[in-house]
C-alpha cells in the first residue's frame, strides 16, 4: 500500500451461511478467508477486528481510499457471498484522544 491518505470505516459483519456445506468445505473457506484477511492487514486495510460474543458477527476497523475502494476490498473476501454488512464511514472528531497524543 502506498503512503496515501485513507478513510476509516467501521464495519459490522454478520454471517448468513454457507448453509448445507460439508465441514471440509467450510474449513477450506475459513482458511482462504483468514489468509486473505492477513494479507489485507499487512497492506494496512484491515486495522482491527472484534468478535461479538455468542454470535456469528464481528466489528472491524478498516481503511480504504474511498467508499468505492472499500467495496472492492470487502467484496473480494471469500466469505463475501455469505455476509450481511453495515458500513459506517468515519470522520475525525475534535475531542478524539489521538489528537491529544493519547
Per-residue pLDDT reduced to its tens digit, 32-60: 999 999 999 999 999 999 999 999 999 99
Name 60's Cβ contacts closer than 8 Å, sequence gap at least 6.
10, 11, 13, 46, 47, 48, 49, 50
The predicted structure's pLDDT at residue 41: 98
pTM for the model:
0.87
Count of other CB atoms within 10 angstroms of residue 65: 16
What is the distance between the alpha carbons of residues 17 and 6, in angstroms, rounded to a whole number? 31
- pLDDT bracket for residue 102 (50, 70, 90): low
- pLDDT bracket for residue 3 (50, 70, 90): low
Cell 472528531 found at: 93
- pLDDT bracket for residue 101 (50, 70, 90): confident
What is the distance between the alpha carbons of residues 72 and 102, in angstroms, rounded to a whole number? 32
pLDDT over 70, % of the chain: 96
Short-list 31, 23, 46, 40, CA closest to 78 = 31
Count Cα atoms within 13 angstroms, Cβ side, for 85: 18
Domains of the chain: 25-83 (3.30.70.1060)
Amino acid at each position: 500500500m502506498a503512503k496515501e491518505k485513507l478513510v476509516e470505516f467501521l464495519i459490522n459483519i454478520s454471517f448468513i451461511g454457507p448453509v448445507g456445506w460439508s465441514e471440509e468445505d467450510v474449513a477450506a473457506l475459513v482458511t482462504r478467508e483468514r489468509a486473505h484477511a492477513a494479507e489485507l492487514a499487512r497492506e494496512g486495510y484491515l486495522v482491527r477486528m472484534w468478535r461479538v460474543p455468542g454470535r456469528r458477527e464481528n466489528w472491524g476497523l478498516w481503511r480504504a481510499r474511498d467508499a468505492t475502494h472499500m467495496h472492492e476490498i470487502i467484496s473480494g473476501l471469500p466469505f463475501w457471498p455469505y455476509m450481511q454488512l453495515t458500513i459506517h464511514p468515519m470522520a475525525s472528531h475534535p475531542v478524539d484522544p489521538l489528537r491529544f497524543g493519547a
